[in-house]
Structure formats: structure tokens, C-alpha cells
Structure 1
Amino acid sequence: MQLQLVSFVLIILHCMDYTGCQPHSSPRHRQHKQFSGVSSGCQQGGCLTCSDYNGCLSCKPRFFMHLERIGMRQIGVCMTSCPPGFYGTRTPERSTCTKCRSECDSCFNRNFCTRCRAGFYLSVGKCQQNCPEGMVPSDTQKECVPRCPADCELCANSETCTQCRPGFFQLSGRCYHICPDEYEPNDKLMECTAQVHCEVGEWSEWSPCSKLGKTCGFKRGQETRTRQVLQYPSPFGKPCPEISEIKECLVKKRKCPGGQRNPERRGKRNRNNRKDKDSQGRRRERKREKQQDRDAGEREDSDNRNKTEHRHRRGQDVSPDDSIVQ
């Protein structure tokens, strides 16, 4: 009888540690506050077994058991991934979250940190206060980095380059093989300098319709307009657009008044006229000389013919007897 009573008491005490064993929770259990990630039953979240007082006692498959400290006690929470500062380990029996080393803010496992706490610098998975030889600490990256960047010949620190290696161009303390957008390489300075694009002003008004410098004496002509270059481009900047335009125009043909004639063209025309007159005079003179030569030749031929005819007539007038007498 006593043995049965002791067994009954043990069963009751054991059931008090789990939910669902009693129809009503005891006042002691009701006074505990709910905490984040833990439900009052095992049907929600990743808990496989749980209690109101200790939280999750075991997790469903693929969930990690993480112990959160609340006051003097630890509460079990089942999570899909471990929080920062912890790494997950899996065994056939259970998966748990294990705290990283004290100098690590986050880690992959106990021996490989991925981020360090303040005052430590990451180098090959280790958090160190002093970087290895040839490395310097980077406060922005919280890592040990090379003393100079890879493409840097001289540097002020691990992040500021003062002279780049051959073939690289400097810009804001960094070295570039190809300058970023809106910058172009300067081979003299070995720097990336800002591109300068062409800038032009507004178009002028269209000029009066004209042809060969005249605004009259024609029917079809041309109008022009121009604009000025305000800023010439750098070698790689956007080139200048057209700064002049010409379009055809049509006007009512009218004769030019005397004052509208082009003095230059009139002078040129007068010179041409004088040249033509001189040329015509020389041609007439040569023609006259040729005519005179031709007339002289004809006169000489006529005289020769007359003399020949005269001698011939004289020869016929002389008789044979006369020639004998003589």
C-alpha cells in the first residue's frame, strides 16, 4: 500500500513538469511569463516536447535547440538557424546552438570566425588583436588587409593609394585599369579625370535669303543660322553637335536696284570686259595685219602676171623679118 502511494506521488510530480498532463495548470505555472519563441504547448513552433517552465525540451527535425537565459534559469527555444554569436552543430540525437569563442561576433564553427568583436581583426578565420607581418588592420572592414592594395605601388594606408602600378590610373585613393563612368584616363598624370562634354549656345536667327552674296536677282536661295561653342570637350567627352545649318528658301524674284549690286562683282565684271575689249582689239589688229599681208601678196602676184603678159605681147608683135634686119 505504501509502495503504491509513493508511486502515485512520483507520477503526479512528473506530470507537473509537462503541459497537458493536468486539466488545469497549477498556480505556480500560471505565474510564469510567456517568452519569445516559446508557446504554452508543443503544437506550435519547432518544439517537439516542452514545458511551461523550461520551454522546449526537444526540437523537431532540422531545428536547433538554443538555450536563452532569463534570470536564473534557461529557456529552450527551437530555431531554424542559430543567432549571431552561436554556431550550429548536428548529431544523430539532437541539433544544438553552441556559443562562438569570446573574441568572435559570429562564427562558422568553434575554430573559424566570420566576424570579430571590437578591438580584434579577422585574419584567415581567426580574430587577432595584432595582424600578421605584411598585413595592417582595417577599421572599416574589421579585418587584416595587405599593407597596400593589390594594384597600388605606394599607399598612405591599407585603403588609400598614393601611386598606382604601371597601367593603372588613380582616382580618390584607388587604382583602376579602366576608369569608371564619366571619367577618362590621363596618361600624363596617370589619373582618372572627369570627362568634359561639349556645350553649345542657342541658335541665332535665320539669315535673310541670299544667293552668291546677294539678296535680290534670284528666286531660289539659302538661309543660314549658327551657334557658338561654349565648352570644348575633353578627348573622351561628348563631341560638339553641328554649329551651323543651311536650308533652301524661295523668294519672289526681283531685279536688284543699283545700290544692291555687288561692287566686287561689278569691278570683276569691268575688268573682264576690259580684258575682252583688249583681246578683241588685238584680234582685229592681227586680222588687219594678215589682210594687209594678203593684199600685198595679191598685188605682187598681179604685177608679176601683168609683166609676164606684157612680155608675151611684145614677143608676138615682133616679126621674123625685123629680127633678121636687126
Structure 2
Amino acid sequence: MDMTGPKGAETFLADAGWAGAAIEPLPGDASFRRYFRIRHPRRGDAMLMHAPPPEENPVPFIRAAKWLDANGLRAPVIYAEQEGEGFVLLEDFGDVRMREFLDERPQEERAIYGHAIDTLVALHRLPPGPFNSYDLAEYRRETRLFTEWYCPARGLNVDAAGWDAAWQDVLVRLLARQRPGVTVLRDYHAENIMLAGGPDRQGLLDFQDALVGHPAYDLVSLLQDARRDVSPDLERAMLDHYVEKAQPGADFAGDYARLGAQRNAKIVGIFVRLWKRDGKPRYLDLIPRVWGLLERDLAHPALAPVARWFDANIPEDIRAAGGGSFKS
């Protein structure tokens, strides 16, 4: 890990009233964003996000954080910002992520996931936020990551036009049911939920890509987690918990499967792209989990056109191996 702070950080902190603070780098993830813990002898701790242009843009994060906070949800408070240089100083939620908390206390799994579902229920009761629409063009752009990255990496010559047509058939059916829509955080899972102040005080992270879309999407993100096993029993219980509280409309189970398959196909493509384009092969180890979730979603009748495409284009040995093995 690069132990140096970004150029201009000390000046930004001084202008924000945090001169003399220590800057401690934190591990990165899949993007160009970097995070630093800021420790000040009088002001306490904060987090510094550096989302440098042109690769990153902090404005969507700032807009979403302020909207969430204004509507009673637990996004980090923003103390200072400098959009042009990509600096944002924000509230420190600490180190207790939902993922690690449950690794140590698996007996609390249902209660913690129940609180996470309650957060989505509260979010979905709000009018949609000031974000772009999660429309058919965006859904289809994301599904193409599978044929653009995964299939070539496996040496597969597939029917790309048929892939698009199958998804058109599957996704067009849910568009009317996602209007007027809810705010979709898009990466709502156990590594982006902080237990800030206790299990029922869950803080939100990584919402800069928020859109207005279908209420099932963030449920898929949480309950079909690429990074953590969620048992089918827990998934079913949490879906029942959501349905009881939110009373979603017709064919919610079908739409959940549609968006599950859409998201999981996208993630498989993204993980291969992170390896091929960005030199981050560690995400390849997560593909078998995501592939297993994708296969489960494909078994739902709502996914019949996409399931037929898989039968015709993806060899059975690759499917049986959870997407196959890669040599990085």
C-alpha cells in the first residue's frame, strides 16, 4: 500500500481547519478513489476521500451524501470539499463493517440483516432522489460487460446480438413497475455498511452511483452479495421481511430474479475487466460465488430467454465449474 498522502492534501486540510492532522492511508478497492484516516489532536478523527479527476468525480458522492443525510439516512456528514482537486473531508464511521462484525458474531446475522432491510424500507418510502433514471439503456449497457469482457477471456465466440435481445425481452417487463422509482444505491452490501454506533446505527458508504430505479435492486445487492455468503434461508427470510413492511407491487419475486441475474452477469464482467484492464486479479476468486447466484436466478421462469442463451452459448463444463478457472 502506498503510504504517502495525495498531493495537496495538507493544504486542503489546513484550509478546512484541520492543520497539523496526521494522514493515515487506508487500503483501496476497485476504483481510483483513495481513503485516508485523519487524526487531529483537538478535532478528533475524520475521513479524507481523494477522488481525483479525470478518473473520478467527487460531485455525485457529495450530492448523494447530502440528500441521504437531509432525508434521515446515515451517510457520513461532509465537513469540507474541494471538487476540482477531488478532496472530500467527511465523518469517520470507524472500522466496524457489517462483514467483519458478522464474521465474529454469526449468531447476530438475522438481526443485522433485518436492520439493513429496514434501512431500505425507509429509503423506499421517500420520493426518489435527484438522480438519473436506471433505464433500459443502462441495464443493457451493464449486461454487455459479460459478453465484452468475460466471454473473450474464456475464448468464447458467443451470440452477442442474441444476448442483447434476450435481455431486452427480460428487462422491458419490469420498467413499468419501477415507476416512479426509488433511490437505488447500487452497491449496498456487507462491506459498504458500517455499524457506526451499534448494530442498529448502520452507516452507508459507496453510494456515488445512485440512480432512480426498481426497489428490488438494492435487495439483490445485499442478499446476493459477491463478497459474502448469504444462505438461501436468510435470503428468503429477509425478502419476506421486506415484502411484509414495504408491500411491493405485482411480480416482485420475478423482478428480483431479473435484477439478480442482471447484476450478477454485470459483476462477472466487471471482475474480469478489473483483472484484464486494471491489473487486479484478486477479484477472479469471487466469480464462482457470483456465478452460483447467477445460475440460481436463471432458474426462475422470468429469465427464460437469458437461460436459453446460456444453454446455447456457454459450455456445460464452464458452467459446472462456476464460470471456470482463470490463470492471472
With normalisation by structure 2, the TM-score equals 0.21
Greater share of residues in helix: 2
Which is higher, the Rg of structure 1 or of structure 2? 1
Specify which structure has the higher proportion of strand: 1
Q: TM-score, normalised by structure 1?
A: 0.21
